[in-house]
């Protein structure tokens, strides 16, 4: 290991570089949180302009992810970090990849909102979707707080809350099926709404991955217990009847 | 840079380590290709045992991804690669992450197959899904060949073929909507089939990411032209009527 040959100057440079990357992650996190809330709100408020802003705003999130990757690669190449520091850098790259995916889902949601605004609204659905989006946004906020504070307990809590998002999704899935069966004219809108619900459920999975990365970063181990899984509609046909 | 201090012995160790990691990637790729084909086949052949094998087989894929990450982290820490080598290692990690996601989608598909086998089949759907899965499997094979041979042209070709998979998905989406509107008793099965089609479409996106990583690895730049996008149902309501 080259650790012993590194003077304090090099170590400080590494820390400064890492802090700069973490600042990018926080900036990315803020944009992604806003995108989640705004895409859900644009659906509920039937606000096409807001949906359009979310769609366009995703480019800034993508650009930040690229910047994180470049800075991280530069840091790895120049500073040649020790095993522990290396883990931090790899974690940062994984977190930014997860954030980028969540941003993508928000963008997809905003795209579908554009389509849905051309159809008659399905009663009660957009409020339920907003609540689901809000739950995920708070999870994300807490996952990033857990990262900054290296707070394993908070990260564990985020993991557990993903189960509630899954339950919200399962309830919506049943509701949409009912609407569709009641009136075939609801089918197209419900398919799009269902996509949106599924997108939010997947956002929750990515936020959970971030929380798990925090646990890995602090403890050196990924959580062993399988998370109470997830989309029941995929394994239990009775939920889909 | 420590490049100048490295003797030939170190360089060879790095190459040997990298080759070992690439062998893991190829092993992973083989398992993922098989999972794609087998999950689609289990649906068409109504073979619950095969679906079960795909579901259980995903653990081996996940374990390989973890191994790739560990080996890559070890290589980064011990060999402190130069900028070019670093890019290769980071690419390998991204490819394995993409493969893991494709494996996950195959597992999800096999889960839904279990549910669908308890319902009456929807005529013609499982053949269309098998063709879509086959197209993605060939794309994956070619993307991995492009990686091994550093073949930018083949990687570009894979990217373009993703458009065909998207078109297959859009056609299926319309077909499922029609089935649901014709007979509400088809709704539940069509929702699950639609999920499966969407999963395959997303597999195509991840395979395209692998192809783009190959282009980045060889040329140093990600493709600039936006890929002809994708899921038309999200942006054009007429496709969903």
**Lowest mean pLDDT, pick from B12-16, B54-58, B178-182, B210-214:** B12-16
Q: Which CATH number characterizes residue B87's domain?
A: 1.20.58.220
Query: What count of CB pairs under 8 Å joins A to B?
Result: 91
Question: Is residue A17 scored above 60 in pLDDT?
Answer: yes
Chain B hits for A73, Cβ within 8 Å: 83, 86-87, 90
Cα separations in angstroms, B143 against A5, A109, A178, B33: 41, 29, 42, 11
Local confidence band at B77 (pLDDT 50, 70, 90 cut-offs): confident
Long-range contacts of B92-97 (CB under 8 A, 24+ apart): B92/B18, B92/B21, B92/B22, B92/B25, B92/B68, B93/A90, B93/B68, B93/B69, B94/B209, B94/B213, B95/B25, B95/B147, B95/B210, B95/B213, B96/B24, B96/B25, B96/B28, B96/B64, B96/B65, B96/B68, B96/B69, B97/A97, B97/B65
- pLDDT for position A236: 46
3-class secondary-structure state, position A183: coil
> What are the pLDDT digits (tens) for B104-136?
999 999 999 999 999 999 988 889 999 999 999
Token digits for B143?
């993307």
- pLDDT for position A231: 54
Best mutation target among B104, B240, B241 (most A Cβ atoms within 10 Å) is: B240
- Of all residues in chain B, the one with the smallest CA distance to A237 is B115
CA distance to partner chain A, nearest, from residue B165 (Å): 18
> What are the pLDDT digits (tens) for A81-90?
777 788 888 8
- pLDDT for position B233: 65
> What are the pLDDT digits (tens) for A165-218?
999 999 999 999 999 999 989 999 999 999 999 999 999 999 999 999 999 999
Q: Do B184 and A188 touch (CB under 8 A)?
A: no
Q: Do B86 and A97 touch (CB under 8 A)?
A: no
Which of B41, B38, B187 has the alpha carbon at shortest distance from B127? B41
Task: Give me the residues of A, 43-102, that contact B with CB < 8 A.
Answer: 69, 73, 76-77, 80-83, 86-87, 90, 93, 97
The shortest CB-CB distance from A181 to any of B187, B234, B236 is to B187
Chain A hits for B76, Cβ within 8 Å: 76, 86
Token digits for A150?
């290296």
- Of all residues in chain A, the one with the smallest CA distance to B181 is A184
ipTM of the complex: 0.74
Range of the domain at B44: 3-240
> Total structural domains in chain A?
1
Contacts with B100 (C-beta within 8 Å, 6 or more apart), sequence order: B28, B61, B62, B65
> For residue B221, which phi and psi values (nearest 5 degrees)?
-135, 140
Cβ–Cβ contact B188 with A under 8 A: yes
Q: Where are the alpha helices (DSSP H) in chain A?
A: 8-44, 48-79, 83-116, 125-149, 152-182, 187-219
3-state secondary structure B130-159: HHHHHHHHHHHHHHHHHHHHCCHHHHHHHH
First-residue to last-residue Cα distance in chain A: 60
Measured CA to CA, the distance from residue B165 to residue A16 in angstroms comes to: 45
Q: Is residue A95 within 8 Å of residue A210, measured between CB atoms? A: yes
Q: Is residue A176 within 8 Å of residue A145, measured between CB atoms? A: no
Measured CA to CA, the distance from residue A85 to residue A110 in angstroms comes to: 38
Q: Is residue A183 within 8 Å of residue B197, measured between CB atoms? A: no
Torsion angle, alpha carbons of A188, A192, A193, A198, to 10: 140
Q: Where are the alpha helices (DSSP H) in chain B?
A: 8-44, 48-79, 83-116, 125-149, 152-182, 187-219
> What are the pLDDT digits (tens) for B18-68?
899 999 999 999 999 999 999 999 999 999 999 999 999 999 999 999 999
Residues A115-135, mean pLDDT to the nearest whole number = 93
Measured CA to CA, the distance from residue A170 to residue B162 in angstroms comes to: 31
- pLDDT for position A2: 43
Token digits for A40?
């859900």
Q: Between B1 and A132, whose confidence is greater?
A: A132
Cβ–Cβ contact A130 with B under 8 A: no
Q: Is the alpha carbon torsion for B27, B31, B36, B37 positive or negative?
A: positive
């Amino acid at each position: 290991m080259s650790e012993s040959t590194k003077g304090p100057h090099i170590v400080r440079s590494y820390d400064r570089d890492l802090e700069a990357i973490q600042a990018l992650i926080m900036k990315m996190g803020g944009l992604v949180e806003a995108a989640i809330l705004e895409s859900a709100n644009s659906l509920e408020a039937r606000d096409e302009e807001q949906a359009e802003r979310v769609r366009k705003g995703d480019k800034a999130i993508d650009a930040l992810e690229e910047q994180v990757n470049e800075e991280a690669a530069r840091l790895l190449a120049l500073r040649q970090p020790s095993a522990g520091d290396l883990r931090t850098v790899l974690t940062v790259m994984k977190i930014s990849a997860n954030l980028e995916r969540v941003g993508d889902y928000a963008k997809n949601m905003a795209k579908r909102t554009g389509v849905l605004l051309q159809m008659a609204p399905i009663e009660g659905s957009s409020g339920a979707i907003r609540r689901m989006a809000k739950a995920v946004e708070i999870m994300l906020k807490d996952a990033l707080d857990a990262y900054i504070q290296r707070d394993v307990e908070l990260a564990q809590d985020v993991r557990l809350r993903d189960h509630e998002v899954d339950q919200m999704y399962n309830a919506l899935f049943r509701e949409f099926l009912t609407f569709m069966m009641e009136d075939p004219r609801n089918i197209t809108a419900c398919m799009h709404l269902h996509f949106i619900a599924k997108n939010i459920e997947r956002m929750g999975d990515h936020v959970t991955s971030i929380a798990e990365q925090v646990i890995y970063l602090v403890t050196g181990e990924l959580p062993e217990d399988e998370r109470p899984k997830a989309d029941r509609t995929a394994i239990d046909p009775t939920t889909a009847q």
